[in-house]
Amino acid sequence: MKTISLEGRTLAVCSTLAVAGALLGVWLARHVADTVLAALIGALIVLPVSTLVVRRFMAPVSRHLRALVDGVSSLRDGDFSVSLAVTRSDELGELAGVYNSVGDILRSERQNLYQRELLLDTVIQSSPQSLVLTDTVGHVLYANTAARKRFHRGRRMEGLLFDELLAKVSPALREAANAERDGLYTVEEEGEEAEILHVTRNHFTLNTREHRLYQFRSLTRELTRQELQTWKKVIRVISHELNNSLAPISSLAHSGRLAVQAQRHDLLSEIFLTIEERSARLKQFLENYARFAKLPQPRKAAVDWADFLAHLQRTATFTQIGSAPTAPAHFDRAQIEQVLINLLKNAHEAGGAAEGVELEVRAVAEPGSGDQVLIRVLDRGPGMSDTVLASALLPFYSTKPDGTGLGLTLCREIIEAHGGRVALANRAVGGLEVRLWLPAAGVQ
């Protein structure tokens, strides 16, 4: 609390100097006859004394003001550690107290912010997702532990060009990172099992600069767990279906035996017909599952793309993008044809315009993988949600009421048996895109 204000102190000093000057003038007027000389003597006495008094009075004020200027400069530079000694009880002391309070608040906020940043960094670093943040040029600004292990053998990535790091990884991972759409990608590193990644890219502006955030989430373990649950469900379904079919067959067989004993041969025809229908339905049911479990190894042979696509177009309707490769391919014609028929059928059932279903086949060359053939099946339907994308390749998973859930899974099994890979992604213009990579001709 201030006792005497700075204004009051200044007024007291000025009043004292004025009174002292007036008294000195009266005294000089009485003892010095010459008025000009008296004024000159008074000036020579009053001016130095007034200067000395004012300087003595203003010296602590100037020190406090300089300390405040230095303190504010420290705040501007981000240094919140400077505090001022409060030795005055006037406005300057009050201002110094307010400055100290602001410094305390800023120090506390900085400490809280640091703790939150430390907590966030700890969470991100321990996340199994690979996170990479880049600037407009493509330099890595931030990468967590999982990203460093995936792209740079655990070493720091900050400051490096992300494209240069991608040039050293597998083509499948590079394709997933460079694709301009989110989706599922099958990635297989040399000497390791295939991994299914859900890759997302986000653009945002930070400090007026564009940034890009890559997220690579491994779904392999989750899909394996879901596959186990799916197989358990399949076993329950098969058991239920067998019981539903075998119980009536057993009952009908008992009824037939009673009919024979009672000489009711007129009932046997209907009994046998019912048993035949139930047996045929059970056989068809089991064959659907056996077809997936007993997928034969592909019988690869040279296939001319132009003839293959012409034959495919007689079975499924699509618009071809570009021209097919002139070099022959090397795959199991029946199996790949079945894959494309399934994918084109799904594309037509997606709900978009029929003319929006497109197929493209082109040769691509990827460092580390040699020549490959890329097959793209595109539609203009609603695409897939993240939940459906994450489960689309699971056996027996289907969003259709009458679907078996074997289509996409069977396609993946066939493509991977050929040494290729599959990727699903939503299109930027709407719809779904399925990409299939197959080794080029001559690759056994």
pLDDT at 112: 85
Phi, psi of 144 (to 5 degrees): -85, 180
Contact between 278 and 247 under an 8 Å Cβ cutoff? The reply is no
Among 99, 29, 108, which Cα is nearest to 71's? 99
3-state secondary structure the chain: CCCCCHHHHHHHHHHHHHHHHHHHHHHHHHHCCCHHHHHHHHHHHHHHHHHHHHHHHHHHHHHHHHHHHHHHHHHHCCCCCCCCCCCCCCHHHHHHHHHHHHHHHHHHHHHHHHHHHHHHHHHHHCCCCEEEEECCCCEEEEECHHHHHHHHCCCCCCCCEHHHHHCCCCHHHHHHHHCCCCEEEEECCCCCCCEEEEEEEEEEEECCEEEEEEEEEECHHHHHHHHHHHHHHHHHHHHHHHHHHHHHHHHHHHHHHHHHHCCCHHHHHHHHHHHHHHHHHHHHHHHHHHHHHCCCCCCCEEECHHHHHHHHHCCCCCEEECCCCCCCEEECHHHHHHHHHHHHHHHHHCCCCHHHCEEEEEEEEECCCEEEEEEEEECCCCCCCHHHHHHCCCCCCCCCCCCCCCHHHHHHHHHHHCCCEEEEEECCCCCEEEEEEEECCCCC
CA 40/CA 79 separation, integer angstroms = 53
pLDDT at 398: 59
pLDDT string in tens for the chain (444-residue length): 456 677 777 787 788 878 877 787 777 777 777 777 777 877 777 788 778 877 887 777 777 778 888 888 887 887 777 787 777 777 777 878 888 888 888 888 888 888 888 887 787 888 888 999 999 889 999 999 999 998 988 899 999 999 999 888 888 788 888 876 777 777 776 656 677 788 888 888 877 888 989 998 887 766 666 666 666 666 666 666 676 667 777 777 777 777 777 777 777 777 777 777 777 777 776 776 666 566 678 888 899 999 999 988 888 889 999 888 888 888 999 899 988 988 998 888 887 777 889 999 998 876 555 678 999 999 988 888 777 776 666 655 555 555 555 567 778 888 888 888 888 888 888 888 999 989 876 443
What's the pLDDT at 318? Answer: 92
Virtual CA dihedral for 149, 153, 156, 162, nearest 10 degrees?
A: -80
CB 381 within 8 A of CB 389: no
